[in-house]
Amino acid sequence: MSGAKGARGRRFEGALDPTAAALNASVEFDRRLLPHDVAGSIAHAEMLAAQGIISVADAAAIRDGLRKVEARLASGELTWDDALEDVHMNVEARLIDEIGDAGRRLHTARSRNDQVALDLRLYALAQAEAIIVAIDALRGALVTQAKSHVDTLLPGYTHLQRAQPVRLAHHLLAYDAMLSRDRGRVADAAHRTDESPLGSGALAATPHRIDRERVAQQLGFSEVTRNSLDAVGDRDFAIELVSACALVQVHLSRLGEELVLWTSQEFGFAKVGEAYCSGSSLMPQKMNPDLAELVRGKAGRVVGDWVALVTIVKGLPLAYNKDLQETQEPLYDAVETVLACLEVARGMVASLQFDRDRMSAAIAKGHLVATEVADYLVTKGVPFREAHDVAGHLVRVAGSRELGSLALDELRAAHPAFADDVRDWLDPARAIDRRDVVGGPARERVLAEIARIEAELG
């Protein structure tokens, strides 16, 4: 091959030890940066020509050559060479093979340090956008299910014990609230990624009269970085994005856990589509919620990616250090894991079939209207703590019976403030609709929230 010999050149007499070379190479994973590396290089070459640093003809040859190299590498026509260490040297060497000396001028006024920083930012921005799209798709599936189950009631839980009745739609929209915050965090991480580091050189910029702003604008960046030392050694943008991904995955894990519970025979509240279940190698009757379990389990992986990133960066001196190569795999892994889990979660939510009767039966056991008894007494002027004590006493009196089955005389024996109108307070649907506050489960509030989310999603 007539191209460059990695980054070592004639400064070194011999090759790296084979084991060291394998450890040093990153092309196995950083080939993901190919489209971003080519886009950045084209913008850089065109800027160099505009500034009179290279000829317009060389810039055109570089642009056309890079596009050919990208297509041939992406298709497999050209193979990736581990000896060239990374995506950047693979592209540059193949470009030189393609167009000759003009390709050797591409690297003028830049270093692999600011080049990889640029490529990683472009990658992070593209993936942040993809994650936001995937989050919104899952939110859309949740809203669709919520619209179908505004009038489906189920127990709300605390400590995994039946607590108060709620609408299934309200329960599902709790996950939309989590995902909406996740969306904001991903967008916020992208905001701080939106600075072009190209032009920072290895650490101390370049003596050539480049136009950093032109390159940034061509690549879609809003700003350029303001300190060359920081720009080449900064991976905060990756850490922030992976941090946001970790919380996305934690929320997906919570959803996965509830699907595992709800699809169990003990709960029996829902069924997940067969496309998201698997059988047992031994027990033919089994239909296991394996994908929900995997989504739940992937949280440990993505949180681990975040821990790896912050640990790698901790204590690094300025500016670039080879340790930073190790930040790439956790970034790729976190992003790709979250994107896959968001898509699987969307499919699972869309496939859910709910057992309204089973949920309704669950409301009928467990004294879920005990809080209503206390709130009823408060409307009669009884202090809440006293009312709470009376309601607890009545739960004990009722035993295996439900509070709604107690006779008025039994209620009055606990407190004289009870009257005939207490019956309306012991109906679960009416109990829910009395909670008519912003963020509450009342029917009109849930419908308004569905409309608000649909408008937000467009």
164: helix, coil or strand? strand
Among residues 289, 425, 429, the alpha carbon closest in space to that of 359 is found at: 429
Distance CA 42, CA 64 (A): 9
Contact between 342 and 178 (Cβ < 8 Å): no
Among residues 204, 266, 264, the alpha carbon closest in space to that of 231 is found at: 204
Choose the catalytic residue: 75, 159, 281, 400: 159
Q: How far is CA 33 from the centre of its chain?
A: 20
159 a catalytic residue: yes
Beta-carbon contacts of residue 317 (< 8 Å; ≥ 6 apart): none
Residue listed under structure tokens 């990153």: 26
**Residue 289: CB atoms within 10 Å:** 23
Please report, for residues 321, 384, 393, 416, the alpha-carbon distance to residue 380 in angstroms, rounded to integers and kept in the order given: 71, 10, 18, 10
Sign of CA dihedral 125, 126, 129, 131: negative
Choose the catalytic residue: 222, 264, 280, 405: 280
Task: Name the β-bridge partners of 271.
Answer: 353
Residue listed under structure tokens 């050559």: 65
Beta-carbon contacts of residue 312 (< 8 Å; ≥ 6 apart): 235, 323, 324, 326, 327, 330
**φ and ψ at 166, to 5 degrees?**
-140, 170
388: helix, coil or strand? helix
Contact between 203 and 113 (Cβ < 8 Å): yes
Please report, for residues 275, 280, 376, 411, the alpha-carbon distance to residue 392 in angstroms, rounded to integers and kept in the order given: 46, 45, 14, 12
228 a catalytic residue: no
Distance CA 129, CA 249 (A): 17
Helices (H), 105-211: 112-148, 168-193
Sign of CA dihedral 408, 413, 417, 422: negative
Active site residues: 159, 280
